[in-house]
Chain A
Amino acid sequence: MRGSWTARLLPWAVGLVTGVLALGPALGRGFVLRYDMVFVPDPSVGAALAGADGFPRAIPSDVVVAALSAVVPSDLVQSGLLLAVFALGGAGAARLSLWLLCVHGPPGPGTAVAAVAAGVAYVWNPFVAERLLLGQWAVLLGYAGLPWVVAATARLADRTPGRGLAGLVCALIPAAIGGFSSVLISALAAGPVALWRRGPTTSRWWSRAGLFVSGLLLVSLPWLVPSLSGGAVTDPRGAEAFAPRSDTPFGELGSLLALGGVWNAAAVPPGYGEPVTALLRLALCVFALAAWAWWMWRQDRPVIGVGLSAGAAVGFVIAFLGVVESGRALTAGLIGLWPGFGPLRDAQLYVAPFGLLQALGIAFAVWYLAGAARASVWCMGTGVFAALLPVVVLPGLAWGAGGRLAPVDYPHEWHQVQEEVAADDVPGSVVVLPWSAYRGLDWSGETVVSLDPATKLFDRRTLWNDDLSVGTADGGTVVVDGEDPLAREVAEVLDPAPGTGLPRAEDLAAGLGGLGARYVLVSDPVDNGFWYEGQGFEAVREGTELTLLRVPEARVKADKPGITGLEVTGGLVTVVAIIWSVARSGSSLVLQCPGPKVGRSARKEIPK
């Protein structure tokens, strides 16, 4: 590798190339809709801020999307965010490996190949593929930020507190956008690094820990304040419903070891569970772990080694708790004790730090293979092959996971109902029917299951069934109760039929209007088109796919939706902290983190 520009550009090139290869058609115009990933045209900042009662799962991610969509079309915002997952993650892991490996001397071609290996391994694995197919882009944004957060946390040891905190908050921006899950995995991966940092330091561990916690709190306020002040509840049954499952022939433990094991069978990338590809993937993970262990055994072990190992181990234990009956019972008990333990229900999420550890292990192995000064062309060729192995053993992620992530356009009808509701000055929420959260959208010719886009389409509060039904291996169903108390009241008024999700109650307009509803949108073609006759609604639109009904103004008792002063203050503090961190760091997240200065100094710069 000649010149620092290579060290600067190569990591980003790795991230961008893997992103384009993985996303493929998803980067085209249109909206990629799949499970939790719902982007709509012209989303409303106000509606995103008001959100729903209960745990603020979509804050601040939806607010950021809505704000960006005021400037750029929202389908481009989606493409940009998805590509950012790969670019940030790949670049972050590559730069982190460069920094860690540069203790051996100026980076050469072998170090560059090792950086490529780290970047590719970090963003091309079952964890990323499954979360992507589950539509959890916000979680992945936090995952992409992990290498940056780990590096910034390690930097706390040799910086002034102010500069260290600024660098940390800056690195936490992706997690701040992602929300609670992203911040949690960041805390898990980097928290131990703040406590155990090898090498000379200018600060005490408690000082670094204090700065680290401060950074986390600063970026968490938008979701932390409403969740603590709003009385959020979580159903303990989620621990059972979202427990890790086996997506390979090697059981839950083997699946988690390979960074898979998501609970949703439809989120497994095509071909991944086949014995050959799964075995290759598992072998690669074992190889990466062995390489990491070897690196940790050596004198030149990485400064973040102990901390990252501890974080990954704790994360793996949390994930494994979901595998065993007693572990699930423990998690459910904790959630029952205090809803703040609710995020533990999605146990597989916590293998994220393990993904970073494996990526760095592969990087070290590749560096050892190809990094010697007189490495033969065959050794280097083998190193390049090893760097690309994550793609080889998981081809199902390529090109939008085999076309599963294909963009579609909203039918014209959807734009029309959005405009019709926006044109109404009378306040009141929108009730979304059928009373079920997920739809089978067939706009692309194939049925894709997605959260009903109507839940995010309007510039006002929507009321929808946020219960989550998860099929079990024995053919049963676990229903995890939703978290919006007003939605529960609406369900009582509707008395929905279990098979169709359509209401069975009488005089619905009065009942729903009394709960503040102004509109009812039926966002699915239904067989029974007469259920709303005689219910007191005004029919605004009766289309082929959508039916929009209006509650007469006199019957609507709309409460003024709003956010509390405390929530506004919390959000503003976070925004100001992020602006300060960028200004204090002297650069943006993209521009900071200079690469090693090749040949100019023996001192190796750490990526921020």
Chain B
Amino acid sequence: MIKVIAACAIGAALAGGAAFVATSIATESTATAEPVNETLYNYGDR
């Protein structure tokens, strides 16, 4: 059981760190693409 808990802690810590880095990359590059101040809206924009 201790081995399982330790493995989960290691895996989760690794995943958490990697997720933090990936989130930082994603956040820095994200910009809103929603249209504003239009009367009519498309169903999407390819």
Contacts and interface: CB of A to CB of B under 8 A. Distances in A.
B11 A381 contact: yes
B7 A499 contact: no
A327 B25 CA distance: 36
A446 B34 CA distance: 9
Interface in B5-37: 6-12, 14-15, 18-19, 22-23, 25-27, 29-30, 32-36
Contacts of A219: none
Interface string A392-418: 110110100010000000000000000
Nearest to B7: A380
Interface stretch (A220-228, A291-299, A304-312, A433-441): A433-441
Interface stretch (A48-56, A264-272, A456-464): A264-272
B46 A388 contact: no
Contacts of A472: 46
Interface residues of A, number: 61
Among B10, B35, B43: residue with most chain A CB under 10 A: B43
Given A392-B18, A395-B22, A395-B26, A468 B11 contact: no
A245 B46 contact: yes
B8 A393 contact: no
A382 interface: yes
B40 A263 contact: no
A524 B37 CA distance: 12
A113 to B, nearest CB: 8
Given A438-B41, A501-B39, A377 B10 contact: yes
A588 interface: no
Given A266-B44, A470-B44, A471-B46, A388 B25 contact: no
Interface in A189-247: 241, 243, 245
Contact of A385 (B11, B22, B23, B42): B11
What DSSP secondary structure best describes chain B's contact surface?
A: helix
Contact of A270 (B10, B12, B26): B26
B29 A440 contact: no
A449 B35 contact: yes
Given A274-B25, A395-B26, A470-B42, A385 B34 contact: no
B26 A271 contact: yes
Contacts of A438: 40-43
B10 A378 contact: yes
A571 B30 CA distance: 45
A447 B43 contact: no
A381 B12 CA distance: 8
B4 to A, nearest CB: 5
A35 B43 contact: yes
Which interface class (under 10, 10 to 19, 20 to 34, 35 or more) fits B? Answer: 20 to 34
A438 B38 CA distance: 11
B7 A266 contact: no
A408 to B, nearest CB: 15
A277 B3 contact: no
A499 B40 contact: yes
A274 B39 contact: no
B45 A264 contact: yes
B19 A395 contact: yes
A134 B14 CA distance: 32
A468 B29 CA distance: 30
Contacts of A20: none
A437 B43 contact: yes
A385 B45 contact: no
Contacts of A349: none
Contacts of B43: 35, 264, 437-438, 468-470
A549 interface: no
A266 B15 contact: no
Contacts of A526: 39
26 contacts: A109-B7, A134-B44, A266-B34, A270-B30, A277-B22, A277-B25, A280-B22, A380-B11, A381-B10, A381-B14, A384-B7, A384-B12, A385-B12, A389-B15, A391-B15, A392-B19, A392-B22, A393-B22, A395-B19, A395-B23, A395-B26, A436-B40, A440-B38, A440-B41, A468-B43, A499-B40
Interface of B: 3-4, 6-12, 14-15, 18-19, 22-23, 25-27, 29-30, 32-36, 38-46
Interface of A: 35, 109, 113, 134, 241, 243, 245, 263-267, 270-272, 274, 276-277, 280, 370, 377-378, 380-389, 391-393, 395-396, 398, 402, 434, 436-440, 446-449, 468-473, 477, 499-501, 524, 526
- What 10 A-B pairs have minimum CB-CB distances, sorted nearest first? A271-B26, A384-B11, A381-B10, A264-B44, A380-B7, A471-B45, A388-B15, A438-B41, A385-B11, A395-B23
Given A370-B7, A380-B4, A439-B41, 13 more contacts: A265-B44, A266-B33, A266-B44, A280-B22, A381-B7, A381-B14, A382-B11, A391-B15, A392-B18, A436-B39, A438-B42, A468-B43, A470-B43
